[in-house]
Structure 1
Amino acid sequence: MRRHAPDAPQPLVFAHANGFPGQSYRSLLAPLAERFDIHPLDRLGHHPDFPVGHNWLALRDELLEHLAEFDAPVIGVGHSMGGVLMAMAAEQAPERFRCVVMLDPPLMLGFDALAMKAVKRLGLTDRFTPAGRTVGRRDSWSSPQAMRDYLRRRRLFRRFTDQALDDYVEGGTRTLDDGRVVLLFDPDIEVAVFRHLPDHLDELPDTLQVPVGVLAGGESDLLTPHRCRRLKRRGVRLAEVPGGHMFPMEHPDATRRALTTMVDEMLEASP
């Protein structure tokens, strides 16, 4: 049990995106340690007791097991998959949270939820989610530099800051005896996560009992303006950050400022 002294910094638990272990976010999270007690999670989905499955319910339970280590409510923050899991955990156990901030979450509401149900039923998840692009992805390189050079040419990583790319190379791999580096996040698990995107969360904004907010990438192809308007209509606090879906790695300073502002607003509104 992690005990929280009354005068200690607030615990902030960070849940990562699919495929990006918690240490990939060092350039975003490290400066936040001046204000919060930071706890990045490592690799959700890799514990044998919580295999990836229907609607990420086991992943939610894995997250709740991590939160059981704290004796006080936490500030829950998550990027993409991690943001949705934080909200799912807060719906299940609101007493464990002060507030939740989701960074560009794939939160399927309204028609999106219905469409995802149909895609799963028809066996088309690999066509309509990133699962298809992830199948067979490369998972090893001859050296860390070879990995950096390769990733710089990939669209997803092209706009990462140099430090954020280094964080991913160093925090998201292990080095073998022959000097090769191998991804820590199992690509097969990454594919499974995409294939089981939750389709049951349409009522979540109405049922959450803790303050919740979303930071959206201004150029995100996931949180489009239409989806942002839908979130606002459902009562979700929303702010925009420069960059695409991976804005925590593209604009870590702006993300940190927007995050702390949103957390402060929510804690002030709900002390």
Structure 2
Amino acid sequence: MTPAQTDRSTLLFAHANGFPGVCYRSFLAPLGERFVLHPLDRLGHHPDFPVGHNWLALRDELLHALEDLDTPVIGVGHSMGGVLMAMAAEAAPAHFRCVVMLDPPLMLGMDAWGMKVAKQLGLADRVTPAGKSLGRRTTWPDRQAMRHYLRRRGLFRRFTEQAMDDYVEGGTRLLDDGQAVLVYDPDIEVEIFRHLPDHLGDLPRRLRVPHAVLAGEDSDLLTPRRCRRLRRHGVPVHPVPGTHMFPMEHPDEARQGLLAVLDELLGETA
């Protein structure tokens, strides 16, 4: 794939739950040399697409965003965003050239069955990050205090300095007194976790566009067992350095891995 072939290709990016699209600046910005970038802002916050059963409304919100773009697009998504991108590609394959999921919570086999049972028994808060997100802190005296606080949290500990700045600045708004407040509604974040899809057990077989997964080598979500399950379902899985949050921890390596996968997938459709 040469730069000339991709000059006009549109790359639509969907973020993870709790992380507005602007937070991926250090990972995405260099891709602007080869693609027209369209990072989505805050899925789940549009009143016409409230969070609900199995993320179906969130999928429709993503499809709605395609209406203003020249399609087909290259669909890339992190975590929640990767699953939604695959769901959208299944619903409207003509709008996608390919899909790459970055460490997606794609529940296959027994994982899908277990998620369905957990939700029926009211245990979603225990088996998803919903329980940890309940009552999370949303306000800090200023952005520097927020940055200092987050550096001690496990999820953010490995972020690069630039990625941390992107999250602190892009993920907050400042009040008149200088306080920093999250722009991603924590109640929506919890509801998204609670409605993690349990109906995608055979999604890889239903997808009619080239697709692949990038998995963090130290991810606590895409464990070796889950990676093997994805491969058994025909999903190519490519390891990259980092945890579930690898786009913020190793943005250069993540971007190189993404480009290599896109070369393979788009080569299949050439």
Instruction: For 2:149 and 2:8, locate their aligned partners in 1 and report how far apart those are by CA, in whole Å.
Output: 39
Amino acid at match of 1:112: D
Give per-residue Cα distances to partners, 1:65-85, cap 9 Å, x unaligned: 001212320000000000000
Instruction: For 2:242 and 2:229, locate their aligned partners in 1 and report how far apart those are by CA, in whole Å.
Output: 20
TM-score (norm 1): 0.97
The residue that corresponds to 1:235 in the other structure is 234
Give the match's secondary structure for 1:157: coil
CA shift, 1:171, in A, is 0.7
Q: 1:164-175 alignment to 2 at 5 Å?
A: 164-175=163-174
The residue that corresponds to 2:160 in the other structure is 161
Give the match's secondary structure for 2:70: coil
Kindly report the root-mean-square deviation, in angstroms, between the aligned alpha carbons of the 2 structures: 0.9
Deviates most, 64-73 or 164-173: 64-73
Instruction: For 1:143 and 1:12, locate their aligned partners in 2 and report how far apart those are by CA, in whole Å.
Output: 34
Amino acid at match of 1:113: A
The residue that corresponds to 2:96 in the other structure is 97
CA shift, 1:194, in A, is 0.3
What runs of 5+ residues in structure 2 fail to find an aligned partner? Answer: none
* Alpha-carbon spacing, 1:157–1:7, altered in 2? closer, same or farther (3 Å): closer
The residue that corresponds to 1:202 in the other structure is 201
Task: Tell me the number of residue pairs that the alignment of Structure 1 and Structure 2 aligns.
Answer: 266
Instruction: For 1:68 and 1:233, locate their aligned partners in 2 and report how far apart those are by CA, in whole Å.
Output: 34
The residue that corresponds to 2:31 in the other structure is 32
The residue that corresponds to 1:187 in the other structure is 186
Q: 1:1-271 alignment to 2 at 5 Å?
A: 8-271=7-270
CA shift, 1:270, in A, is 1.3
What runs of 5+ residues in structure 1 fail to find an aligned partner? Answer: 1-5
Instruction: For 1:167 and 1:9, locate their aligned partners in 2 and report how far apart those are by CA, in whole Å.
Output: 27
**Which consecutive segments of 4 or more residues in structure 1 shift more than 3 A?**
none
Give per-residue Cα distances to partners, 1:26-53, cap 9 Å, x unaligned: 0000001011111100000000000000
Identity %: 70
Instruction: For 2:7 and 2:268, locate their aligned partners in 1 and report how far apart those are by CA, in whole Å.
Output: 21
Give the match's secondary structure for 1:199: coil
Give per-residue Cα distances to partners, 1:83-130, cap 9 Å, x unaligned: 000000000000010000000000000000000000000000111110
Give the match's secondary structure for 1:138: coil
CA shift, 1:8, in A, is 4.1
